[in-house]
Amino acid sequence: MFSLPPLLEEDIQCMESALDELLQKSEATTALIIDKGGPLITQRGTLNAFDTTTMAALTAGSFAASEAIAGLVGESYFSSVYQQGERQSLWIGNVGSNLLVIVIFKASLGVGVVKYFAVQTTQRIAAQIKKARSRTDENLDLVSLNLLDSSELFKKKA
């Protein structure tokens, strides 16, 4: 499995624009892009109603579990997972080997609309990641960080 390449401004802009378009067309509430390991990459839409960091970690775990279940029934993976609620529902779509798109929408909207528009979104994001991966100067120059600062990065309360 490839790891996610370093992301530049243009990568994030592309992802955000793809999510904005998805939200506008589908009328979903919130959309996130997360790494399959759990970290949140970017988010758009209504954000103050959710703890999106925790949501990213839990969704990554949930999707990973669904992939393991897919293996048990002879599938290599499930391309998407739908979680239906009474007021809010959630759709998780696979983007290549590293990322997931999470879309939160009112349950009354129906998952079909979200899925329909999300296909284009996931394709756009996958294409941008491919582009990011093809860059040669892919490592961030962290030489300027002062290592002495990191020895006591976390301090215990007195």
Partner 1 sequence: MAIINQATKELQVKIVYYGPGRGGKTTNLEQLHSNVQNVQEKGKLVSLATSSDRTLFFDFLPIEAMSIKGFKTKFQLYTVPGQVIYNTTRQLVLRGVDGIVFVADSQYDKMAENVESFANLEENMKALKLNLGDIPYVLQYNKRDLPNVAPVEYMDFLLNNRDVQVPSFPACATRCEGVFDTLNMITRLLLHKFINEGTRKVA
Q: How far apart (Å, rounded) are the C-alpha atoms in residues 43 and 19? A: 8
Based on the shown chain and the rule CB under 8 A, indicate whether residue 145 belongs to the binding site for partner 1. Answer: yes
Residues 6+ apart with CB under 8 A from 45: 19, 23, 28, 29, 30, 31, 104
Q: DSSP character for 108?
A: G
Please name every residue paired with 87 in a beta bridge, in sequence order, or none if there are none.
Answer: none
Span of 79-87, 101-109, 114-122, 149-157 interacting with partner 1 by CB under 8 A: 149-157
Q: How far is the CB of 106 from partner 1 (least distance, A)?
A: 25
Among positions 10-49, residues that touch partner 1 (CB under 8 A) are: 11-13, 35-39, 41
Residues that bind partner 1 (CB under 8 A): 1, 3-4, 6-9, 11-13, 35-39, 41, 51, 53-54, 57-58, 60-61, 64-65, 68, 137-147, 149-158
